[in-house]
Structure 1
Amino acid sequence: MGKTRAAIQKAYRERQKRSNPNYLLLERTRQASYRIPADKKSKKKLEESKLKNQIYCQRYRAKKKKEKEDALNKQGDDRTQFNLITSTTNDPGPSSSSAPLSLGPERRSSGNQLIVQFPFTVKSPPPKRRSKALKKARNEVNALKTKLQLQERSTKRWRKRCERLKKRKSPTAFQQHPTESTPNSKTRSELRSCGVSPRSLPRSVVRKLVASNSLLAEIKDSREKNPAQKDRRLINNIIYGKILKKYRAMRYVSREIGANRHKRTTHSKLISNVKRRRQSRQRQAVERHILAYFERDDVSRCLPGKKDAVKINGNKHQTRILNDYLSNLYARFIYENQNFTISFSSFCKLRPKNIKLTSLLSRNTCLCTSHQNMALKLKCLRSLDINISPNPEVVKKVVSVDDMKEKLQSIEIPAVEYEEWRRVEVEGKKKMRIVKLTKDKADFQEIILNQYSLFLGHVSRVSAQYKALLDLKANLPMGHIILQMDFAENFTCQTMDEIQSAYWNATSVTIHPVVAYRRNEEGTLSHKNFAFISDINNHNSTAVLAILKILVPLLKNTYPNMATIHYWTDSPSSQYRNRFMFSIISRHQELFEVNARWNYFEAGHGKGPCDGIGGACKRMASEAVKQGKAVIQDGYEFYKWAHENEKSICALFYSQVDYDSASQSLADMETKVVPGTMKLHAVYSPSHGVILTRSVSCYCSGCLDGTNLCNGWIEHKLMSSSAAVVVCATSRSSPSSSATGSSSSAVDSSSSAVDSSSSAADSSSSAADPSSSAVDSSSSVVDSSSSATGSSSSDAGPSPSVADAMSSATGPSSSSLSVAINDQSNVKEDAFIAAVYDGDWYVGRVLEMEKADTAEAFVTFMTKHYSKGQLTLRWPERPDELLIPLSNIIRIIDEPLPVGRSKRYYQLSDADLNALKETDTLP
């Protein structure tokens, strides 16, 4: 009988082992190369390997067990055979054969010996006894395992069949990326798939098939381009009907055009021509007015931050915050637009998404100091069980000065503790902090009344300036341009991967946004956005002049018919409202060949569109840096990026050369301090070297064209030392109220009332004491002498001096300070004095004494420096000269002594320094 293949292979392996000693090593190496590590196997392969190893182990253990049992059995068979050893005697003979057979252990004796081997058979232990329940359970488990294996095998078989069917029906590599078939090619492919050649059919039949595919393609394209359900519903009404259902073509059509099967319902063939409801022109006008109303600066303020943006329809809009409750804004809108009819709910629905409610904010910054101090005092009054609103805007509408005085009488405690924002010394520097103060009852009542009177005037000026800007935009003539501008917060240059030293020494970029408004040929108001960028971080009048030297010629080239520029800015004294800017305004016609009028918002209320432009520029620049689209490390790189990417903002750059040129121009100008600078909100130059100032802006018909100025304008000649005089202008409401040329003209009693043509203040300004007098109706400066005596302004004699106005605008009045001098006549020229300005004391030298009736002095001040807690003084590089009232001088001091090697720093004597520290002017 021949050998099997397995036997042949086994014989071959045995020969290899005998002839080649390295055969086993080579076989192990070859088998090891086929082995796959467990961490690289799939879960399924790993399970199979584990099961295979378990089977091998079971077989091995069974094999070893069987070998052991066979060995034991063989040993037992050998023991059953024994040899009977007969005893041997010294005398062998027949007697030995007749001896009895002895069975037992081997005995050793001196005589005959018998050795016997006993059979001890070793048997396997009996099987363990198992209970019937356990045996039954194991049988069931084995049966279920067998059934599961059969089921898995069946599942695998059917899965393989499905895979083979899918492969059989799957398209080829060319068909996996088919090109878009046209109706003509689709018709030919369908005919060929049916075994029919298109040329074998009549041309009319082929055309009908092509027309059918074309119609289905058109319907499918229309559905894709009209995702709205109402548009698709119209298509469904045309397609689906009884005919498609009768001939069972609805499913085919739905599949071809990509329609949902739930939409395959029959519809009536009567298509009703429903006309779209169109909004009336009046409704559209109301919506436009509401949107414009919400974006007004007196209704909402724009946040300047980079992250203060909301995405609307894919575009980011700068976030704005409402200044009042929606109910109050709604009532105000209805009052201003009485010809419109709209409900409160519709008014709220039309609020844009980027205009947020105040309640959504977690923290407010850059707020008005006057409003916040008044809010802190109202909070204190509420803690004293006084029924009053915590919102200053609500209080000023419903509480007059007399009402406030009556409420203060209900205070029962002898001393009151309240909080206030003040400038305090922190580590040798002056910083604004909330401090706690304690005053007795009488002093607290006086402080509240004085501050509330000033607050009412402050609020009235805020409303007046916003209303003047709205009136100017509504009545802006052709050839006039409005420029609203402000310095934005500096942009800090950063890079994606930045080293530590670069992070702590980042470069700042100055951004100065400007918005230009003009009336176009269609009669509508249009605007253009500018952003001036520079590496120079000085925000002063020199930078403003450098910007104007670039901006005004650009506007003249763009709009050749430009005749007048109306500037609108906030009112910081270091930037826009100072003697240098007044000199520029007086020479504006000479410098730029264009007339100019400068308007200032009330302090703390200069928010406008410039904040949004600055925030948008910084936000988009930061996003470009984070996305790796730009590298911005200085101002010029910021300008290049903005010039190339910002389409809605015209980016301009001014360099150090432009700044130095503007600085030289300012140095060549003759400047003069204008009395009451901090109270001025409108400056107009009728001729070279002359300016007209006013406490609030006025854009009535006479003031707009400059032909018939209303009351309140004061003339200042900057080219000479003559005093300011009130312009002789006839008031339309009260002809007898104008002055006639005297330097300190009397003010008629009617000037204390609100003049609708010359004042834009709201009705809250009339809440002040009617017996108090002011320079004009909207200035809200209360004459202390007339209010104390209760007489009218007509009985009080001449109007309040500019010194009184300045002292009330710059900080605490002289009566609240510990004045060290009693006789103001001791103040001489070249004397060193300590004076109060903006709630703090400063050291200066008197340059010139004004006339005795004005009680003012022209003083040049020194700057204060703190080094290790020690106060030193120094003369500034640019003289800081100011005209102050003598009532603000608190002490005549000795000449400061120079210290240090350079002798550029000075120190006060110990006596003067201790005396100044004891005064109430120190925070």
Structure 2
Amino acid sequence: MQKQTEDKLDVKKKLGLQWKNLVSKSYIFEEKADRKRSDALTATECEMIQDFYKNAIVSVEVPSRKSVSKKTLTSKSVMTRTTKKAHELYSEQKKHRRTKVTWQRWENTKVSSLKDNDIKVKKLLVTKNGTQGQLVDELLNEMSPISLHLFVAGWQYQQFNHIKQEMPEGWVVVIADFAENYRTFFQDEIQSAHWQYQQVTLHPTIAYYRCPEKDCNEIITESMVCISDDLKHDASSVHAYMSTVNKYLSQKIPINHQVQFTDGCSAQYKSPELFMDLSCGLEDYDFSVERNFFGSRHGKGPCDGLGAVIKQAARRAVERREVTITNAKDMYDHCSQSLTLKKGKDEECCHKLRTFFIVSNIKRNRSRNPSKALPGTRKVHCVKGVQYGQVAVRNLSCFCLNCIRGSESVRTIKSSLSHSRNMS
């Protein structure tokens, strides 16, 4: 009996020792796994090495079906260089990435005002110091947004040219933009008059539409310039100028739909108040209206050229002492007499026209004030009026056959776009 008890104790001791050894070994194993060498590679370095070996300079993908991995479903690659040569090339690139460089970039910087001690954020040119790798990383981070910007700018201009040439019957394509204000001056002015000048607002608008004459399907390009003493370039002034132009066009040709192209200035063409005006297109003009926006920093357009022609012609007339321009009325009288292009008496049709309007008493206390803004306005490049207080938007313009047919009815417009938003 005593012997059996001793045997049991021996077994327990042995099991205990084995368990103790097992625990200690597993602890030592975990301890070794957590330890890292002083020259161990970081996760970022490992990722850089993997990307380097995937580069076409070092390896090429095998095109055969058998080379595709069954686990990852990726094709295998074959090195075109020896390991030694690849390591030398990687070390050289790594050495260049650590080179100290200096560069400049435009950044949003907080600047304190000396007048009211208010802090404002401005875009300033900042000098930065770092490694060549940091410079490359910053450049790569900027590549994605700028590539999207270039695509949007090119796409919108392509759509403008397409709809201008392939315009359906009853459609009018309009491009509008503010020109720089004309600054009045005199040929024989006194010295103090240089600092006491007046300004005149110019709002050029160019319309493209089919020739209404029979047996003529050419596109008419009519330039229309609104002249005003009102120096505010806001939503109310844009509505007044576009209403003047649309009233004039409606008296000349039948219009079913109008396509507008402007820049994306939030204070002039892309504000919630103007979106409300677009939703009331049928009520105001008896035809539907949609507004498309060019990409940011799209460059100069036809309206800029038209504004430059008008201001240069007025300036030369003043220098030749042919006219004295002190306000918008003088500017309108001179342009109407000297720069207007009309259809001749003996001409069957004229495809280049130019007209001037004077606009005064712009109403700003209007009842069309939306209760909420349109979210994601910066990404939107096409806005169509659906009904009062409701517009349909899309990120990019499109004038394919399906989209053009979709503009024939409100129901089709709402279904063809990705979504519509209520602004009332």
* TM-score when normalising by structure 2: 0.67
Paired residue type of 1:478: E
Shift of residue 408, structure 1, vs aligned partner: 9.1
Cα distance in 1 between the residues matched to 2:243 and 2:376: 28
Q: Give the corresponding residue for 1:413.
A: 98
The question of whether the paired residues in 1 share the 8 Å contact of 2:201 and 2:230 is answered with: yes
For the residues of structure 1 that align with 2:406 and 2:238, how far apart are their CA atoms? 26
Q: CA deviation at 1:432?
A: 5.0
1:236-257 C-alpha deviation (Å, 9 max, x unpaired): xxxxxxxxxxxxxxxxxxxxxx
| Match of residue 540 from structure 1 | 234
Identity rate, percent: 26
Give the structure 2 partner of residue 299 of structure 1: none
For residues 673-752 of structure 1, the aligned pairs below 5 Å read 673-706=373-406, 713-719=418-424
Partner of 2:227, secondary structure, is strand
**Counterpart check, 1:618 vs 2:319:** no
User: In the TM superposition, what are the counterparts of 1:24-103 in structure 2 within 5 Å?
Assistant: none
Task: Provide the C-alpha distance between the structure 1 equivalents of 2:201 and 2:103, rounded to a whole number of angstroms.
Answer: 39
Say whether 1:526 aligns with 2:220.
yes
Which of the numbers 407, 416, 435 marks the counterpart of 2:126? 435
Q: Is residue 170–residue 257 contact of structure 2 (8 Å, CA) maintained in 1?
A: yes
Matching of residue 549 in structure 1 with residue 235 in structure 2: no
Pairing partner for 1:488 from 174, 179, 182? 179
Task: Give distance in 1, aligned partners of 2:152 and 2:221.
Answer: 26
Query: SS state of the match for residue 321, structure 2?
Result: coil
Query: Do structure 1's residue 454 and structure 2's residue 154 form an aligned pair?
Result: no
Give, in angstroms, the shift of residue 501 of structure 1.
2.0
Aligned partner of 2:336 in structure 1 is 643
- Cα deviation code 1:285-329 (max 9, x no counterpart): xxxxxxxxxxxxxxxxxxxxxxxxxxxxxxxxxxxxxxxxxxxxx
The answer to whether the 8 A contact 2:393-2:419 is kept is: yes
Equivalent in the alignment of 2:287: 594
Per the alignment, residue 59 of structure 2 pairs with none
Where does residue 159 of structure 2 map in the other structure?
468
- Change beyond 3 A, Cα 1:643–1:456: same
How far apart are the structure 2 equivalents of 1:696 and 1:703?
12
**Distance apart, 1:439 and its partner CA:** 4.6
The structure-2 alpha-carbon separation of the partners of 1:668 and 1:682, relative to structure 1 and needing over 3 Å to count, comes to closer
Matched, 1:582 2:287: no
Q: Which residue of 1 aligns with 2:66?
A: none
Give me the whole-angstrom Cα distance separating, in 2, the residues matched to 1:503 and 1:622.
15
Query: Residue by residue, what CA displacement relative to the aligned partner does 1:723-759 show, whole Å, maximum 9, x if unpaired?
Result: xxxxxxxxxxxxxxxxxxxxxxxxxxxxxxxxxxxxx
Q: State the superposition RMSD in angstroms.
A: 2.5
CA contact (8 A) 1:680 1:695 kept: yes
Question: Does structure 1 retain, via aligned residues, the 8 Å contact 2:97–2:131?
Answer: no
CA offset digits 1:170-208 (Å, max 9, x no partner): xxxxxxxxxxxxxxxxxxxxxxxxxxxxxxxxxxxxxxx
Which region of structure 1 is more displaced relative to structure 2, 588-597 or 490-499? 588-597
Residue 693 to residue 636, structure 1, CA distance change in 2 (3 Å)? same
Map 1:856-875 → 2, pairs under 5 A: none
Against the structure 1 CA distance between its residues 443 and 633, is the aligned structure 2 distance closer, same or farther, given a 3 Å change threshold?
same
Q: Which has the higher contact order (CA 8 A, sep 6+)?
A: 2
Task: Give unmatched runs, 5+ long, in structure 2.
Answer: 1-89, 115-119, 342-353
**Residues 784-827 of structure 1, C-alpha deviations (whole Å, 9 max, x = no match):** xxxxxxxxxxxxxxxxxxxxxxxxxxxxxxxxxxxxxxxxxxxx
Letter in 2 for 1:698: C
Once the two structures are TM-superposed, the CA of residue 615 in structure 1 deviates from its matched residue by 0.3
Helix, strand or coil at the partner of 1:664 = coil
State the distance in 2 between where 1:420 and 1:546 align. Answer: 41
Q: Alignment partner for residue 506 of structure 1, among 169, 184, 197? A: 197
Tell me, what secondary structure is at the counterpart of 2:98? Answer: coil
Q: Do 2:370 and 2:389's aligned partners in 1 also have CA atoms closer than 8 Å?
A: no
Closer, same or farther: CA 408–451 of 1 in aligned 2, 3 Å: farther
Would you tell me which structure has more strand in proportion to its own residues? 2
Shift of 1:436: 2.1
Aligned residue for 1:673, secondary structure, equals coil
Q: Distance in 1 between matches of 2:170 and 2:217?
A: 12
The C-alpha deviation readout for 1:418-452, integer Å capped at 9, x for no partner, is: 22234664965876543323355565444322210
* Deviation, structure 1 residue 679: 1.1
For the residues of structure 1 that align with 2:138 and 2:300, how far apart are their CA atoms? 29
Q: Is the 1:695–1:712 contact (alpha carbons within 8 Å) kept by the matching residues of 2?
A: no
The 3 A distance-change label for structure 1 pair 624 and 438 is same
CA distance in 1: counterparts of 2:421 and 2:175, whole angstroms: 25
Using a 3 Å threshold, how does the CA distance of structure 1 residues 415 and 594 change in structure 2: closer, same or farther? farther
Q: Tell whether the 8 Å contact from 2:273 to 2:368 is kept in structure 1 after alignment.
A: no
1:700 maps to a residue whose letter is C
Say how many residue pairs are matched: 308
Asked whether the 8 Å contact 1:570–1:606 carries over to 2, the reply is no
CA contact (8 A) 1:580 1:671 kept: no
Aligned 1:64-213 pairs, distance under 5 A: none
Superposed, which structure 2 residues align to 1:777-816 within 5 Å?
none
Provide closer, same or farther for how the CA distance between residues 417 and 647 of structure 1 changes in structure 2, counting only shifts above 3 A. Answer: same
